[in-house]
Amino acid sequence: MKNYFLAIFLLAFSLTSLHAQRKSDLIAEIDELKSQLDSVNSELLESKKTERIATDKANSYESQVTELQDANNTLMQNMKSFAEVSNKNSNIVTSAMASLEAKENQLKAIKDAISSNDSTAIVILTNVKQTMGENAKISVANGGVVVSNTLNGLFGSDTGDQLTAEGASWAEKIAQILAANPKANVTVEGLSMTGDIHIPAQQALSVARKLKEAGVEAERVASLGRDGNLKEGIQVIIHPAYGTFYDMVREEMKK
């Protein structure tokens, strides 16, 4: 009987020890699990923190990409606008250069015409000196050659309006000069000292009529009387065909 109780006691003791051991192991396991849970939670928090940082960076990068895209679009639009403006300016410059070249050609044509008229005036002056003689009253004014004579020398008196033989010969020499220079025209002016231009106009007309009789085309001859400003007489101005020159300039300006 004694042995029976001893066995029961040992069994109970063993069970108690085993139970105590298992409880200790469970506590140890629980502590271990808590430690692991704490570690996992810590890692989870760190991961969330890292994720948040990464998300913030991603959002920042996305915002920067958007800004860069907007800036790139703006730059491309500006470049397009610049190209359009550049092309427009280039077209304007090209048009301006073409217009400038046209104006230069117009000016060159006018300059060449003026130079031609100046050359013609020199030739006419030489012809006048050779034809009229060194004693003739000759001058140059406003691109024309002026040949002058007195009223007495042409009409025999201040008030006469019919050419004398000497006056007719003088006019015929003028006609010879005009025949040698078919591009030149002539204007006959009767000058008055009194302000009365009726007689000077008739005297100029008489000279003009003789030029036409000598073969000068009527459209090349003009005559008038005017105030001579303390001068009287007849002056014949041999000059370029201003009408032709004007028509040429007008046509050039139309181009």
The pair of three-digit structure tokens given for residue 114, joined into one six-digit string:
């003026």
Instruction: Give the pLDDT confidence score for residue 141 in this predicted structure.
Output: 84
Report the pLDDT value the prediction gives residue 244, as an integer from 0 to 100.
Answer: 54
Distance of alpha carbon 52 from the chain centroid: 63
Where does the chain show beta strands of DSSP type E?
137-141, 144-149, 184-192, 221-227, 233-240
Task: List, for the chain, all residue ranges whose pLDDT scores fall below the cut of 70.
Answer: 1-23, 40, 54, 58, 65, 82, 99-120, 242-255
For residue 233, what pLDDT is reported?
96
Q: Are strands 221-227 and 184-192 parallel, antiparallel or unpaired?
A: parallel
- Supply φ then ψ for residue 73, to 5 degrees: -60, -40
Express as a percent the part of the chain with pLDDT over 70.
75
pLDDT at 13: 59
DSSP 220: G
Q: Give the whole-angstrom CA distance, residue 237 versus residue 190.
A: 11
d(CA 130, CA 17): 163
Looking at this protein, which amino acid is placed at residue 77?
Q
Give residue-wise pLDDT tens across range 54-90: 677 767 777 776 787 787 788 778 777 767 777 777 7
Tokens representing 62?
């996305």
